[in-house]
Amino acid sequence: MKKYYTRVCNFYYGIKSIKLVHQKKTLPLKGNNQISFDQIEILSRNSKKLINIKDVKKLPYFLKKKINDDLKNIIKKNKNFSNLNFKKIPNIMGILNLTPDSFSDGGKFNKKNKGYQHALNLFKSEVDIIDIGGESTRPGSKSITSKQEWNRIKYTLKSINKKMTLSLDSRKSDIMEKGIKNGVKLINDISGLSYDEQTIKILKKYNTPFIIQHTQGTPETMQQNPKYKNVLLDIYDFFQEKIKFVRLNGIKHNNIILDPGIGFGKNLKHNMNLISNISIFHTLGFPILLGLSRKRFIQDLSGKNDTKERLGGTVSSSVFAIMQGVQVLRTHDVNELIQGIKVFKNLIKN
């Protein structure tokens, strides 16, 4: 039987959205009247069709039932966790790389107390959560030992003020467990829980919220000619299978975030397809995270090579993501992104 997918689209914002929801002309995204929509795109592997939500009732019975079930997921409010408020779009995750070789800021914060100081600066910049990592997963990078990874992060992790909410960027279950014992409130595993078979057991043991990210291959090989049948629908199916996997392993809570993994086993065409159609993942019922900060696609589109010269592309793609209802943005340039968001939100009030 042909499989259909629902992508929510044609969003409205602010006061206009609130009015349209009140008039029952639009549906609120995740229970938030300040962002709503009145169209959906129905996709399959060989077709797509854009319709107004009022025309769902005209669809054939089996398809109408499928779309209505999807719409329930799309409009259902997400429960808050890990200091993230999913009624606020977006939440900001500040990046704290304590590595010598990360693609953008490797070696910048991994000496003496620079990691702690940067964490403090991020906190003062009003980030919602700080993502701390000790292993680079840039294209071409190789895995390091747990001892090396823990030695890079332990000082900063143990020094950080308890008022700061921490996410831990790691693929290793033993690092996750140590992090959780030191106050980490969210696990960010770029491997999609696939690198370490013990990961699922640690997440279940501590009932810890986590991010499922999609990566094709490993950081060492992921950019060597990545291929998909349909990148958007392949990753949607990947998330569905991962959710089944965590449920079968006894994790019943919904404190889960989905990240399609921009730049992780994707070329420019793949990345642009995902970003342009990111709202399809709302149908799965979980918050969406995007890591767009200083990514290679910005260079590919603009011609700017140095990762430090990709701020404009970071802000513009992030604002686009906000317009698609993405709930969490992971970024290096916290102050600049927050500034851009504040200007955008004030403009759409008028």
pLDDT tens for residues 51-73? 999 999 999 999 999 999 999 99
Give the distance, in angstroms, between the CA of residue 29 and the centroid of all CA atoms in the same chain.
17
CB 179 within 8 A of CB 170: yes
**Residue 213 confidence (pLDDT):** 97
Q: Is 310 a catalytic residue?
A: no
**Nearest C-alpha neighbor of 109 from the set 130, 139, 84:** 130
User: Please, which residues have CB within 8 angstroms of residue 305's CB and are 6 or more apart in sequence?
Assistant: 299
| Residue 307 pLDDT | 74
Which pLDDT score, from 0 to 100, does residue 20 have?
97
Helix spans in 136-252 (H): 146-159, 173-181, 199-206, 231-248
Q: Which residue has the tokens 């991962």?
A: 242
What pairing do the DSSP bridges indicate for beta strands 186-189 and 129-133? unpaired
Model pLDDT, residue 105: 46
pLDDT at 109: 52
Per-residue pLDDT, 197: 96
What are the extents of the domains in the chain?
5-75, 91-347
Cα diameter, the chain: 64
List Cβ neighbours of 347 (8 Å cut-off, separation of 6 or more): none
Contact 213, 206 (CB under 8 A): no
Given this model, what pLDDT does residue 107 score? 46
Q: Identify the pLDDT of residue 231.
A: 98
> Considering 330, 342, 345, 349, which one is annotated as catalytic?
330
- State the pLDDT at residue 117: 87
Low-confidence residues in the chain, pLDDT < 70: 101-112, 350
Q: Say if residues 31 and 87 touch (Cβ distance below 8 Å).
A: yes
pLDDT of residue 103: 45
Given the residues 138, 295, 296, 310, the one annotated as active site? 295
SS3 for 288? strand
pLDDT at position 106 is 42
CATH topology of domain 91-347: TIM Barrel (3.20.20)
Element of type H or E holding 316: helix 311-322
Query: Does residue 295 have an active-site annotation?
Result: yes
What does DSSP say about strands 5-13 and 32-43: parallel, antiparallel, or unpaired?
antiparallel
Note the pLDDT of residue 350.
62
Cα–Cα nearest to 213, from 286, 300, 146, 109: 286
